[in-house]
């Protein structure tokens, strides 16, 4: 990652289909998982408490007071999520048989008041794992933290099977500066970039880690209690050094095995020899070692009070769309926090949110039509393609934010 990490939206988008009818994507590991009952559920929650990756006291639920000089954040949304019991997904799908569902406008009540760009940023909730990795001199220990970070990105989805994020429109952006966790993040529709504010150890090691996403599937989407499952393999490689790699398997649920959401991983050397073993549940905790003497690498943060009333948002998710009075004037007008449909849904005004959503989608269709008629292709403002055809930041966002600012930035009307 060499002091920065890049995420692709196309790799991170979660599709929403019924598990009994459509599989989201193929997975090479689906049929390779051991039939043996997992031993993860036999691990007591109170083992190896001394090895927790952070002080649990830091994860206090109040969030209302200023901690270590950092500004307080909200602990709930302005309004609870709407009642969706009157929406028939079956009727929506039936009326759109044969159509590309990615182009079908869904009722705004099926959305959560967050954008896909913000969901990408949400994957950095446990960025302290990367800090620990950057301090590890041993490459195999470093890989343990990298792998755990890759798994932790799925944790917030456990409580979010009932809704989907807003799709970003062309030219939409999102920034996040987290002084508490020491990073700054910028995303524009199609790519995202994040850098550390505090350490440069990645440059010293010269590491560049890459990994894939697993299959995500929503069960009972047409009826019953919806729940999300992730299954498949994550393969993590250091593209600068082949001495160490990792494979993490998200185990697919089976009717005869009540233990779901489990993962098993191995950190191996160049010859395939196992150096470390990982196990746990992707929404709860990850351990390293053997079942008899495990070391806790990570535990998920506790959920806020009444989180079920607010889309199942974690404490971190509640903060992603809030306006910081100090930085609101510094944001470009393309930032997701200015989206009226998303903001209105957050405030509980569903009818107005639906009208704005349809208007914004129509504006994007018109912009696409103009581009196609003129044989033009949309070019991101803050990113460019590198020589290996991957997207990288062009380095202009933070400079323009500082001088002269975004107030006079020329851009299309997004909403």
Distance CA 279, CA 47 (A): 14
Which uninterrupted H or E stretch holds 110? none
> Please, which residues bridge with residue 216 across strands?
230
- What's the rounded Cα separation, in Å, for the pair 170 and 245? 36
In whole angstroms, give the CA distance from residue 186 to residue 382: 9
d(CA 298, CA 300): 7
- pLDDT in single tens digits along all 415 residues of the chain: 334 444 443 343 333 333 333 333 333 333 343 444 444 444 434 434 444 334 333 333 333 345 455 668 899 999 999 988 777 777 887 887 887 766 777 889 999 999 999 999 999 999 999 999 999 999 999 999 999 999 999 999 999 988 899 999 999 999 999 888 888 999 998 788 887 656 444 566 788 899 999 999 988 877 778 899 999 999 999 988 899 999 999 999 887 666 789 999 999 999 999 999 999 999 999 999 988 899 999 999 999 999 999 999 999 999 999 998 888 999 999 999 999 999 999 999 999 999 999 999 999 999 999 999 999 998 899 999 888 888 888 999 999 999 888 988 888 899 9
Q: Is the peptide bond before 404 cis (omega within 30 degrees of 0)?
A: yes
Nearest to 113 by CA among 341, 362, 314: 341
Q: Give the distance from CA 228 to its chain's centroid.
A: 14
State whether residue 49 is helix, strand or coil: helix
Determine which helix (DSSP H) or strand (DSSP E) holds 205, and give its type and residue range.
Answer: helix 201-205
């Amino acid at each position: 990652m060499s002091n920065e990490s890049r995420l692709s939206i196309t790799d991170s988008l979660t599709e929403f289909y019924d598990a009994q009818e459509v599989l989201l994507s193929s997975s090479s590991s689906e049929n390779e998982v051991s039939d043996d009952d997992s031993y993860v559920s036999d691990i007591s929650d109170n083992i190896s408490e001394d090895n927790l990756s952070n002080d649990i006291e830091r994860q206090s639920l109040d969030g209302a007071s200023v901690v270590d000089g950092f500004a307080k954040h909200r602990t709930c949304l302005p309004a609870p999520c709407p009642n969706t019991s009157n929406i028939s997904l079956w009727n929506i799908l039936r009326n759109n048989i044969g159509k590309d569902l990615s182009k079908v406008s869904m009722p705004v009540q099926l959305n959560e008041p967050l954008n896909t760009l913000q969901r990408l940023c949400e994957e950095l909730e446990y960025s302290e794992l990367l800090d620990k990795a950057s301090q590890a001199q041993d490459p195999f220990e470093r890989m343990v933290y990298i792998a755990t970070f890759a798994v932790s990105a799925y944790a917030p989805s456990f409580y979010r099977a009932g809704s989907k994020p807003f799709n970003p429109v062309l030219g939409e952006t999102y920034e996040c500066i987290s002084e508490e966790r020491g990073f700054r993040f910028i995303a524009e529709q199609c790519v995202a970039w994040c850098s550390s504010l505090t350490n440069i150890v990645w440059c010293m090691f010269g590491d560049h880690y890459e990994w894939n996403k697993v299959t995500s599937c929503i069960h009972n989407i047409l009826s019953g209690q919806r729940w999300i499952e992730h299954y498949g393999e994550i393969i993590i490689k250091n593209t600068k050094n082949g001495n160490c790699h990792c494979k993490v398997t998200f185990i697919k649920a089976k009717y005869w095995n009540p233990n779901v959401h489990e993962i098993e991983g191995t950190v191996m050397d160049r010859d395939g020899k196992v150096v470390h073993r990982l196990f746990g549940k992707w929404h709860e905790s990850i351990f390293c070692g053997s079942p008899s003497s495990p070391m806790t690498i990570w535990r998920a943060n506790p959920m806020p009070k009444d989180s079920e009333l607010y889309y199942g948002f974690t404490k971190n998710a509640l903060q992603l769309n809030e306006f910081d009075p100090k930085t609101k004037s510094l944001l470009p007008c393309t930032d997701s926090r200015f989206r009226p449909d998303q903001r209105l849904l957050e405030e509980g005004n569903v009818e107005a949110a639906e009208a704005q959503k349809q208007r914004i989608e129509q504006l994007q269709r018109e912009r696409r039509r103009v581009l196609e008629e003129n044989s033009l292709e949309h070019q991101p403002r803050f990113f460019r393609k590198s020589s290996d055809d991957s997207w990288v930041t062009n380095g202009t966002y933070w400079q323009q934010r500082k001088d002269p600012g975004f107030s006079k930035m020329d851009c299309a009307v997004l909403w």
